[in-house]
Amino acid sequence: MRRTDDAPEPERRGAESGRPSAESGRLARVRERVRAAGGLTFAQLRHHRLRLGLAIVGVALAVLATTLLAGAGVGVLETGQQQFAAADRDLWVTAGETRLTSSGGGGFENSLYDSRSVAREMEAHDGVATAVPLAFETVYVGTGDGDFATFVGTGVPGGGSSVRVTDGAGLSGDPHYANGTYEGPRTNELLLDEETANSLGVDVGDTVNVGGSLSVARNTEFTVVGISPTFERMLGAPTVTMPLSELYRVTGTTRTEPATFITITGEDGADVDAVQRDLRESYPEYEIRSNQEQLEAVVQEQVLVLAAGGALVLLAVGAGVALTVSLLSLVVFQQRREFAAARAQGLSSSLLIAIVIGQGVTIGFVGGVVGLALTPPAVSLLNGLAAAVVGFEGLVRTAEPIYVGGIAIAVVTGTIAAAIAGWRLGRRPILQDI
């Protein structure tokens, strides 16, 4: 036996402590095992290219479904917040709940009556610069050929910066409501959004017939003075926008003056929270909300829609996980004969599991990357369809956590599923699979 003093220096130090040489040996064995597992994994995947491609496609579709549905949920909430912020208002006054209605193509119900008087009183309050009623009524619109379609008619007291005009001019005002009466001159002006203008086949300067009933519409003409996307984006439906008093006139509601909202803009430098508290004390019969509170109130009315959306997201994640697990389990099971033959030649169970895990990681990662790469064009396609159908742009939005979640589902789930499948395969009798 060679004496410790005669051994080389590294070996002599290992022999003296007994630890470094053992650790080096274990690390060398681990490296060798990983290298072998990687080589066998690559060989298996290269040999079964069709199976590999189909598995990657399946994982990619699972990731794509998850990212799109999650992006839709995020986009709906962000779009709602942006719509209220774009309205450039500080407070929203309503009478009771703010209900969406499907009549006439969509919009809100008008539940706040005598809106002009209430708005005047609120406008006189300290810290309030403007208080403006907004009304949404179903109106018939036609081009004089005898055919009419229903749209959401939006009544505003005038133009102003809150109504964005992309072509033509804005409304010149609301002179028909003169000194508390409806005896002033009518402007017979209206704004259309681009979708409504295209559906009617009209442009700026053309004339259309508008009324709350067909008989009124046949005898009431308005001139299209401009194109505005403001209320189409707010409601998600085609709209015609006209002076408030003229909307009341054509719908026969001048006596009740109903409105959905009274929107309030604070004076420069005013404490909006203090104004809100004061108005709530002065008008306890009305709900007075900030932009965020009003958005939450509208969203709460759509509990069933939100529940359905949440269920879809959970279903998408569950389906993605289930599909990934099924795919990788099937891929591993289809190799049972090859693995049984290898085990008969001495392949250990741990190396078998390592090989299967390598396949799971590879398929999950490549499939996840493909799914994420397909997400941006799919989002663009869905947003184009959503804009054409409901009028909202950017309804599906992705974010970094959504991408991270998608790749995590693919890689983590794929790895766990492969490990379990490999463990079960290693416990099967070899003769059963040969």
Residues 224 and 80 sit within 8 Å (Cβ to Cβ): no
State the pLDDT at residue 221. Answer: 92
Residue appearing with tokens 């959401």:
152
Q: Is the pLDDT of residue 22 over 70?
A: no
d(CA 54, CA 323) in angstroms, rounded, equals 12
Question: Stretch 405-430: mean pLDDT, rounded?
Answer: 78
Residues 297 and 98 sit within 8 Å (Cβ to Cβ): yes
Q: Per the structure block, which two tokens stand in for 140?
A: 């018939």
DSSP result, 179-234: TTBS-SPP--EEEE-HHHHHHHT--TT-EEEEESSHHHHHT-EEEEEEE--HHHHH
d(CA 76, CA 284) in angstroms, rounded, equals 31
Model-wide pTM > 0.75: no
d(CA 301, CA 18) in angstroms, rounded, equals 72
d(CA 22, CA 158) in angstroms, rounded, equals 86
Higher pLDDT residue, 71 or 88? Answer: 71
Question: Stretch 266-283: mean pLDDT, rounded?
Answer: 87
Higher pLDDT residue, 200 or 179? Answer: 200
State the pLDDT at residue 359. Answer: 79
State the pLDDT at residue 191. Answer: 92
Question: Stretch 119-142: mean pLDDT, rounded?
Answer: 88
* Bridge partners, 141 (sequence order): 149, 210
Helix, strand, coil percentages for the chain (3-state, nearest 5): 60, 15, 25
Question: Between helices 303-333 and 49-86, what is the axis angle to 10°?
Answer: 160
| Residue-wise burial string across 247-276, b where 16 or more C-beta atoms lie within 10 A, e elsewhere | bbbbbebeeebbbbbbbbbbeeeeebeebb
Q: Is the pLDDT of residue 32 over 80?
A: no
State the pLDDT at residue 2. Answer: 44
* Bridge partners, 167 (sequence order): 227
Q: Per the structure block, which two tokens stand in for 213?
A: 């009933």
Highest mean pLDDT among 2-6, 189-193, 287-291, 351-355: 189-193
Q: How many CB atoms lie within 10 A of CB 27?
A: 10
Q: How many CB atoms lie within 10 A of CB 238?
A: 24
Q: Is the pLDDT of residue 64 over 80?
A: yes
Q: How confident is the model at residue 236 (pLDDT cuts 50, 70, 90)?
A: low
Q: How many CB atoms lie within 10 A of CB 331?
A: 25
* Bridge partners, 92 (sequence order): 263, 289
Q: Is the pLDDT of residue 257 over 60?
A: yes
Residues 109 and 259 sit within 8 Å (Cβ to Cβ): no
Q: How many CB atoms lie within 10 A of CB 279?
A: 21
d(CA 422, CA 434) in angstroms, rounded, equals 17
